[in-house]
Chain A
Amino acid sequence: MAEAFGHNVLELADPEATIDSIANGMRAEARAFRRKGAVLGLSGGIDSSVVAALAARAFGPGNVLGVLMPEADSSDDTLMLSRLAAESQGIETALEEITPILDAAGCYRRRDEAFKRVIPAYGPGWKAKIVLPSVLESDAYRIFSVVAQGPDGTTVKERLPLEEYLQVVAATNFKQRTRKMLEYYHADRLNYVVLGTPNRLEYDQGFFVKNGDGSADIKPIAHLYKSQVYQLAAALGVPAEISSRPPTTDTYSMPQSQEEFYFSLPYHSMDLCLYAVDNGVLAADVAKALELTEEQVERVFKDIAAKRRVSQYLHAVPVTLAEGDA
């Protein structure tokens, strides 16, 4: 009898061999670019911590720079976990507080203006995040709402109209783009490559900002499911404080899970659904493995397809038009 479909399909047969293969690949690509080391942004999350460890293997810890770029809305533990990731691999860090740059660019002001149009009471002392409804609960379109909390603890939730949604996202994207600008500053001064840190789920589903965290010279883990990134973390000695922390966007002033902001399900379930879509596994078999209904899994499949359509723009390289093409 065939083995039931489950998480075992994502297990790396030999994590050490995967690490060696990625490290060799990074070294070869950097050499082709005539760059002798690597820069990456450290967020305190699992992906950047694993990429830092892989880079240390590829280039030697002395040829890797981790850039720490907290801002006003970062979690209290972001900096501590980022430093921990760097220290565990013996790599150097540079601290770049980006709040003044974001302030000067109007990031917070522009975002807050949009929030205030939706929630008139919103103002100083308020915290907010944007959230999506669960794909599991209904067939409703996934439309963003703003959840805001006043200084007295009162919580308000309102649907974000198109204009306000676009303004909030556009303003918030200053964060990822500012960070990438600083990573390239350090890469240029050191003659290093910039490493991107998306895993397969993020890369495939467009969970990145174009010309922000989506920009890089090498994306060493973009072919690995998030579950596999955790496997590498264990093999690479990434500290438990980092690998046990639930993934977060660390972008809005209220804590926001990646499921609230983007994905339909927690990462280990999303990984399995993505694998199923790419390998023709039936929704019924996925439903059994995840203890969901077939209908719920079909909805997740549809959400994956919809995000792939939207992410085509994010992945597109600039278009050039030769005379006569138009």
Chain B
Amino acid sequence: MAVRVETIDTEVRHFLAENFILDDDGAGLAADASLTQAGVLDSMGVLELIMFIEQQYGLTIPDEDTLPENLDSVARIVAYVSGRLGVESSG
């Protein structure tokens, strides 16, 4: 099934909003805002995020990928998942 970058972005924001109780379904979350500094992601939150990505996109995230540069903002999560799935933006 083809997945679009825009879809991943929406799904990630929806996940963050549902799990970390954000208003407006996460739409107001700046794409490059640090989720850790915003108080959204803590040690438990990282585990929840990893579980979401693995289950939603059928990926296994190796330990060496569990880095802020891959998971600490909406933009980074979308880029990481897109990269792993080989998805490009529809522009």
Q: Which residues of A contact B (CB under 8 A)?
A: 133, 138-143, 159, 161-163, 165, 306, 309-310
Contact = CB atoms under 8 A, between A and B. Distances in A.
B25 interface: no
Interface of B: 36, 39, 42-44, 46-48, 50-51, 63-64, 66-69, 71
B67 A142 contact: no
Contact of B42 (A159, A161, A165, A306): A306
A127 B39 CA distance: 36
B67 A140 contact: yes
Contact of A141 (B39, B46, B51): B46
Contacts of B63: 133, 140, 143, 159
A103 B44 CA distance: 28
B48 A162 contact: yes
Given A306-B36, A309-B39, A141 B71 contact: yes
10 contacts: A139-B67, A139-B68, A140-B66, A143-B43, A143-B46, A143-B63, A143-B66, A162-B50, A306-B36, A309-B39
Given A162-B47, A162-B50, 20 more contacts: A133-B63, A139-B67, A139-B68, A139-B69, A140-B63, A140-B66, A141-B43, A141-B46, A141-B66, A141-B68, A141-B71, A142-B43, A143-B43, A143-B63, A161-B51, A162-B51, A163-B51, A306-B42, A306-B43, A309-B42
A140 B50 CA distance: 13
A140 B64 contact: yes
A142 B36 CA distance: 13
Given A140-B63, A143-B66, A309-B42, A165 B47 contact: yes
A159 B71 CA distance: 17
The 4 closest A-B CB pairs, nearest first, are: A162-B47, A141-B46, A141-B66, A162-B51
B54 to A, nearest CB: 8
A141 B66 CA distance: 6
B47 A161 contact: yes
Given A140-B63, A143-B63, A162 B44 contact: yes
Contacts of B64: 140
A193 to B, nearest CB: 33
Contacts of B47: 143, 161-162, 165
Contacts of A140: 63-64, 66-67
B51 to A, nearest CB: 5
A264 B55 CA distance: 30
A165 B51 CA distance: 12
B82 to A, nearest CB: 20
A263 to B, nearest CB: 14
Contacts of B48: 162
A163 B69 CA distance: 25
A206 to B, nearest CB: 11
Contacts of B68: 139, 141
A140 B39 CA distance: 18
A163 to B, nearest CB: 8
A148 B41 CA distance: 28
Nearest to B64: A140
Nearest to A307: B43
